[in-house]
Chain A
């Protein structure tokens, strides 16, 4: 007989926070093997990957630029995951946020008024929330699986964005490239540190971290979310509305992802392009779990995952490595994390033939 998984009676509390560290360690170890196989000096390669990108102020701010959408998306996802609402479509909600936010910026092209940026941000959040409302409605009315619906809608959102920038919203002076106009200055997010791309969205993300922490730790809504996730029977006994929580979680995570999308459009990108996001919405799923579904953890995990984007860019330039290495890293990290999590709740039992019968 082969190995078998057996549930542990008391999973270690300490290890549930230790497992992300373990996963990071194992990912690094695997990276070293990978580098050796590619004939690279692992020390140099690790340095190029993880230290060089943030060895100057510009690099450090770039890290925060990349972490901003990751953290915003992951916060919403984590709150949903706490209530067993599995929104996998943050990427699509992010794209719709970009469409709505970017659309608002284009609608008021060359206009300048006080409420313009808040309006853009609000439109972005609304777009993401609307896109997430579809799986919410289908789940609460027909019991449709939100994992499938939200995932599929991601591709619809990608096509919608593509249609807009190829057609109605294409820049008239853009040499037929599939891009919108560059947004005018008043519609662009203010820069926090001069000569960098660090924009006000990063500050908003930080506020969102605190707000989400408060929501979970201190507010009745957050409490109900946790109860529904931990003990659905107790939630029914207490009379908490399950469909209410499904709506809340999906609208919140959609809204935050949409906000992230709008920030990308009127922040670092500055216009609408078909590939406005390098998969932030999907990476955010890893960020949420790596951060243990806790806002503070998500902040750290978001920075770490942002580093893998930056590291891959430097590695591409310095070491001639393919940019797909980001995906390899993220995949390994998630794999090790899930494996470590399984081993926290289960242990491997080797069964011998004699043990079965004697």
Chain B
């Protein structure tokens, strides 16, 4: 299979160029070739009119190509300046470096204090450190990979101001994203990739979001919908849950309370690292609580129970990292079905795994949720992100849970799979379960949730009906002004 097939891309100084495509469309491969991490099999790269061969990120840096990855490469225990010094090819005395960081920070509105330890920084601030690191190298082409996926709407706007300023000074920017409204807001030109090929080039400022979506996905997508929305009795109740974070960089949960009713989809918005993973651990039972009463499922206290016991009481969870938590990468789908099975499913009989039964259920899930794979004995790691996530979702739904908690259910998933997963979650709510969705994609939450609360620094705001909310209002709370 070709990750990139006969791709042509022209980048000009003083232009913000969008690279648009779904996961697996070949964006990362293309960018890695430009950054020297991968070598092309055929074709050529021209840099300022001359044919070049980029042998690695260091060579790319020396040419003036800087890259800001989605996942930052910073050491938590070191200061901002120390982290930046590590990534530089030349040695600059620390006081001079701190001075230059300060200069760049004020010049481009990238406020960050050089002497602060990185673990005390917000995600947005960490991204600024990465950008400053690129700017120190006199970057002519700045590549950003999904830069806003970890930012609040306000932080994203601040980033755009910086990027526009850089563009006006003549820097070329390659902006990778799948968020259409951002691209229409920010970019001067867009190249759309699908299946490794360029399927379109356009001016996003004059192209509608629907047109862009159709180019990106290749077809129009079904919009997930509900049949009914009648909230019933309370199925999940959390009362004054407090929990210390995992040292040294975890977030403590503070007096968290919520009630989720049958037939309801309840959203928890927030920037990653504000207590979401701790909340999921507390709810799933991975971390049991001393006070049994602070979490109740269907009126019964469960906070002192372990995950298996909570599953038996009708709780199901879809964790955020599908390859390290949700599934065992090196095991087959059949085996992965056994991972979280309940007594009611009767796939295990006195400790003996009933493999034929499990395989039959795996085939059902594959068929019902349109999981594209060679068969139920395929290894989890061989599936694409979207298909594996569909399988994991199907596995949890197959238990007909009373309460389902899904963390970032469509993270890194293609649009088609995302819409199928959303529909599956809505159908479960229609069938009378309580569904909790933890996500940092506001669009996702606004599209499927009945009520949304915001988690910031371990505090949970009072939920509000989605109809009363705007992205800006949620964004303010995400930035930390919780309370009601």
Contacts and interface: CB of A to CB of B under 8 A. Distances in A.
Q: Do A and B come from one complex?
A: yes
Contact of B328 (A219, A221, A230, A356): A230
B335 interface: yes
A239 interface: yes
Contacts of A219: 351-353
A217 B239 CA distance: 42
A237 B284 contact: yes
A233 to B, nearest CB: 4
A238 B53 contact: no
A234 B306 contact: no
A16 B430 CA distance: 48
B339 interface: yes
Interface in A29-80: none
A223 B55 contact: no
A227 interface: yes
Contacts of A234: 324-328, 339
Interface residues of A, number: 20
Contact of B352 (A218, A231, A237): A218
A357 B328 contact: no
Contact of B58 (A221, A223, A230, A356): A356
Contacts of A358: 53, 55, 59
Interface string B59-88: 100000000000000000000000000000
Contacts of A237: 284, 286, 307, 317, 319, 325-326, 340
A218 B317 CA distance: 25
B338 A223 contact: yes
Contact of A238 (B59, B307, B353, B355): B307
Interface string B273-308: 000000000001110000000000000000000111
B329 interface: yes
Contacts of A230: 328-331
B329 A231 contact: yes
B303 to A, nearest CB: 14
B58 A233 contact: no
A226 interface: yes
A220 interface: yes
A278 interface: no
B224 interface: no
Contacts, number: 71
Contacts of B284: 237, 239
A2 interface: no
A231 B56 contact: no
Most chain B C-beta atoms within 10 Å of own C-beta, residue among A221, A236, A238: A238
Nearest to B309: A239
A231 B324 contact: yes
B348 interface: yes
Nearest to A215: B351
Contacts of B329: 230-231
Nearest to B338: A223
Contacts of B55: 355-356, 358
B168 interface: no
B280 to A, nearest CB: 9
B324 A239 contact: no
A220 B286 contact: no
Contacts of B353: 218-220, 223
Contact of B331 (A218, A226, A355): A226
Interface in A217-273: 218-221, 223, 226-227, 230-231, 233-234, 236-239, 241
A358 B340 CA distance: 52
B59 A357 contact: yes
Nearest to A222: B353
Given A219-B352, A220-B351, A358-B53, A239 B328 contact: no
B472 interface: no
Contact of A233 (B53, B321, B340): B321
Interface in B322-367: 324-331, 335, 338-340, 348, 351-353, 355
A268 B311 CA distance: 52
B286 A239 contact: yes
A35 to B, nearest CB: 41
B306 A239 contact: yes
Contacts of B325: 231, 233-234, 236-237
Contacts of B311: 239
A257 B24 CA distance: 50
A239 B315 CA distance: 13
A226 to B, nearest CB: 7
Nearest to B318: A237
A227 to B, nearest CB: 6
A241 B308 CA distance: 10
Interface in B38-66: 53, 55-56, 58-59
Given A234-B327, A239-B285, A239-B307, A227 B339 contact: yes
Interface in A271-310: none
A220 B55 CA distance: 49
A357 B52 CA distance: 12
Most chain B C-beta atoms within 10 Å of own C-beta, residue among A226, A227, A239, A358: A239
B54 to A, nearest CB: 9
B355 A231 contact: no
Contacts of A218: 352-353, 355
A271 B339 CA distance: 48
B38 to A, nearest CB: 11
A221 B284 CA distance: 21
Given A238-B307, A356-B55, A223 B335 contact: yes
Contacts of A223: 335, 338, 353
Given A237-B284, A356-B58, A231 B328 contact: yes
Contacts of A231: 324-325, 327-330
Interface string A341-358: 000000000000001111
A157 B317 CA distance: 47
Nearest to A241: B306
A221 B351 contact: yes
A357 B331 CA distance: 41
B389 to A, nearest CB: 14
Contacts of B348: 220
A230 B55 CA distance: 34
B29 to A, nearest CB: 12
A234 to B, nearest CB: 5
Contacts of B306: 239, 241
A239 B312 CA distance: 12
A355 B36 CA distance: 11
Interface string A106-143: 00000000000000000000000000000000000000
Interface string B83-117: 00000000000000000000000000000000000
A237 B327 CA distance: 9
A231 B328 CA distance: 6
A220 B341 CA distance: 11
18 contacts: A218-B353, A220-B351, A221-B351, A227-B339, A230-B328, A230-B329, A231-B329, A234-B339, A236-B325, A237-B284, A237-B317, A237-B326, A238-B307, A238-B339, A239-B284, A241-B306, A355-B56, A358-B59
Query: Which 6 residue pairs of A and B lie closest in terms of their CB atoms, listed nearest first?
Result: A239-B307, A233-B324, A231-B328, A237-B325, A233-B325, A220-B351
Given A223-B353, A236-B325, A237-B286, 10 more contacts: A218-B353, A220-B348, A227-B331, A234-B324, A234-B327, A237-B340, A238-B339, A239-B311, A356-B56, A358-B55
